[in-house]
Structure 1
């Protein structure tokens, strides 16, 4: 220990940063000086799974320790969603404000809420100058506990250097969606007029106003109503490189398709990577290189929620873009249908000549496990379908990868993006939900409270 104690602080921190979290914990217990040296590593990544964990953290952790937090996962809901709660909306919001105000180095934030928070929760975000990644999701039912688009847009626009924004299950505000008033199957937020005006956006805190955030480069919006016509008329100040649009489960496929195409047309000129959930039927706008707004699109991802029957048509309708990589994710039961659809597309490519998808260099298929063991007949059928697809790709000099789908795997329980696979070799790449263990994977530095 005398040799360790004689090392300069900078060297100690370098050594600690290379240790496994368990080893960091062991070192921290040796003496007070080592404990203090281990604080930055132990508090670099924090995960608080419910409001009780958040409150315990605030009560027991010295406030100055929070200045080391780089990555934070934060939940404001109760551990038991069904149990009656004694914690008010204001108390939950104050807890979030208290923690965020103590995290000046925060770079990545995942915020999971049960419905909306008090509008005062916007206050600490302008001071988080290092915050570049932000994810906000509503874990509750929209009908009973909606999360206002006005609050979410105000938070996002208040982050001065935000680059990566992911939103899940955000609810339209009645102020910005008068056309939806009286529509029984579309939930709306009422009473969110108290969300303060933003210095840049003013009171126009609607989802399309996200395009006015100049630093934004990645945008994902899932399970959210995207019917606001302002998507096509809002002045665009950002240069989106990655776009991930999900469908709204309150609307039908045709409506979701129209919404997706409207947003694609608006932000397309800068998009390099696009994740698609709904079909694209507009062949006049996107199929010709001289007319398509997606003239920089190189990577196209199709999610497992995409209608298989529309695969060939949709990919063909995007032929105006210089797509190099085509990735499809599907469930185990759909492996044969997806491989067959991709074969049909490649046949079409062969028939139309070298100019049709001339940049295409790779076709990937990733498989989300069903959670049960497939029969030998099912595995054999899927194996044959995958082999046919890969053989066809080789003939066209297109690289390909198909997941190993025969063994039982854990079903994906996180977002669609989390289960995307970009494997370069055949292998299982199904994502797994987080373990309740406090031991992080690899060299991750994290603390998890339940």
Structure 2
């Protein structure tokens, strides 16, 4: 199978849409020999912060000499980024090989009268095969959507289950209340397997507690009272932390910006406390791992003159975290938004959270088939901001904004992770990484 043939097959599975449930993935993996049962897996669900928590853990594993496989969706810069071992994407040759293996069994399912697996099911099965054959030491596995009926929930015995920040997203599938959404996320909790949870709102925490008790699991919440912020700047931040286990971390430095990333880092520290029986990770390796974490497009400073940030905020909670960061750091500066969203997102609530900070808003349509038109987003933005400009695409809009912006202005690109790929190849991505 050639690379083009592999990609055509994967893209064609888009027509099968999103199908929640485990029957299809269970059958597909059975035919492939259940590779997931041969892996040590950290399984994480949540609305926001999943990728950041996994990025912290992956960096610590790398510093400790372990090989960690990371399966994330969607990818930001290239398709192969979905399947990574440490910081290396799957090769095109390996991708073709594993697509061919999965396609063979998917075709067999159809021949036997079953539904064809969806794209996400194909990719999930591929990731398990790849990581098993490469004999990784750990798999950091992120749910695609929700948890209970997500294809990744086929995992039966994770070494740790993690619940990240819970908020409103994918409500057409997961429910209209935090309680309902938390119930779907907590659906990844397995009998007797330890659970680590972000300290969410009380109603979400109660759902997680009940799910953990029903499955006889040890549950550790992030000790919010044990976090002490030591420093915050546009170059990074540091904090001390007393874990729920009583361990004291005097100074953890992280390059990711925004107070919410400190809470994500604390969640990762709690996970490391749980899995220490499986891995030998020193305090120095932990500190180095956090210090060297890279997670692109999350409040990433792309340029300093003028300051340009790209952030993946694509739901109300993400927008709230972005707004908090801007208020804390740029109270006396003119802020310009370039915003684009996918049509199924809660963009009105995102605007409510962020628009009051902006001097003006430029709306664009992401290069994505699910994109909301820039005009429709612009009309919504006009309810919250007096100065709104409707443009077509990010690249030309950004050039226009850079020409008009003063050196002390702040430009913020946000609304979808799709923007990261659109910015790929621009020299500005490397301006601040010296």
Query: What TM-score do you get using the length of structure 2 for normalisation?
Result: 0.31
* Structure number with larger C-alpha Rg: 1
Structure with higher helix content: 2
TM-score after normalising by structure 1: 0.30
